[in-house]
Amino acid sequence: MDLGIAGKRALVCASSKGLGRGCAEALAAAGVDLVINARSAEPLEEAARSIAEVHGVNVIPVAADITTDEGRARVLEAAGAVDILVTNAGGPPPGMWTDWDEADFLAALKANMLTPIALMKALVPGMMDRGWGRVVNITSQSVKAPIGVLGLSNSARAGLTGYVAGTSRQVAGKGVTINNLLPGIHATDRAISLDGGVSRAQNISIEEAKANRCATIPAGRYGTAQEFGATCAFMCSVHAGFMVGQNILLDGGATNSTL
Ligand code: NAP
């Protein structure tokens, strides 16, 4: 399917690897020029070289912490007038509800709620002026069904989801769509690190921890960054212009609900 977005320009945050990288690759495959971002310069520059070579698009890497005001300012300066924004950042650490104090919540809110909101506030007005834009926020299945050990994520992402529900309906009339993409368990470094946490907590091997988590997914496996990226690229395509304020769950059926 021709996604109809060749020649457009996208900012994909937190994208040297994992789900963000999957989104960057899929947009590049659709002919979109990219600004990509991560904190560590070397893997980011390698990702930029590889994506440009494979897909023949322009890729600008900006090494910065997207959750800081200074880092975000540098990314936004490089991004300029983008047509597509994919927000992403590392997820908050796991723990128990008794572990977290105000500082932990403020850090989670900054990274996973206030940072995507600041990025939208900076870039959506230009998209509205130009009459076309796409925003996809990478959130989590924890928005639909809470994950006990990820209470910081449950909280911060629920806040972002409420913001998107209201804001997306205020900008849709100008050709700009804002939607959220909710990953269940995907085979990335984040998943491996969570497998490690389960392995230590339950005193089992990482392989057992992974097998146990796979058994909770009707599809019987973790998702891939490629599948995730392809869905993101569709949500950024010309075909998704009537999708507004939605929360698209990619979890292999793990969330047991009818709607
Ligand atoms: P990942 O494999 O660990 O990749 C994270 C990417 O983001 C890396 O490129 C990393 O590069 C970059 N990054 C992290 N923090 C950043 C920051 N502050 N500023 C700029 N770049 C940053 O993680 P992932 O699995 O793709 O997860 C992406 C998001 O989806 C996370 O918020 C995660 O909680 C959420 N999620 C993931 C899953 C899953 O199963 N994978 C499930 C539900 C939700 P640097 O380290 O160099 O910065």
The model's pLDDT over 200-233, given as tens digits with 9 standing for 90+, comes to: 989 999 999 999 999 999 999 999 999 999 999 9
CATH number at residue 170: 3.40.50.720
CB burial of residue 56 (10 Å; 0-12, 13-18, 19+): exposed
Does 82 reside within a domain?
Answer: yes
Question: To test the ligand 1 pocket, which listed residue (11, 19, 137) has its Cβ within 8 A of the most ligand atoms?
Answer: 19
Our count of domains for the chain comes to 1
Ligand 1 atom, smallest distance to 111 CA:
18
Q: Ligand 1: residues within 6 Å at CB?
A: 14-20, 37-40, 65-67, 88-91, 138, 140-141, 183, 185-186, 188-191
Smallest CA-to-CA distance from 84 within 137, 143, 48, 46 is with: 137
Question: To test the ligand 1 pocket, which listed residue (39, 74, 154) has its Cβ within 8 A of the most ligand atoms?
Answer: 39
Q: Which domain holds residue 79?
A: 9-184+223-248
The model's pLDDT over 135-151, given as tens digits with 9 standing for 90+, comes to: 999 999 999 999 999 99
The model's pLDDT over 14-45, given as tens digits with 9 standing for 90+, comes to: 999 999 999 999 999 999 999 999 999 999 99
pLDDT for 40 equals 98
Does this model's pTM top 0.85? My answer is: yes
Does 15 reside within a domain?
Answer: yes
| CA torsion, ordered 240, 76, 59, 243, to nearest 10 deg | -10
Does 191 reside within a domain?
Answer: no
Does 1 reside within a domain?
Answer: no
Mean pLDDT of 162-191: 96
Does 80 reside within a domain?
Answer: yes
Going by alpha carbons, the residue nearest to atom 18 of ligand 1 is 65
Q: Where are the alpha helices (DSSP H) in 56-113?
A: 69-79, 102-109
In angstroms, what is the span from residue 18 Cα to ligand 1's centroid?
6
Ligand 1 atom, smallest distance to 63 CA:
20
Helix 151-171 vs helix 115-130: angle between axes, to the nearest 10 degrees? 20
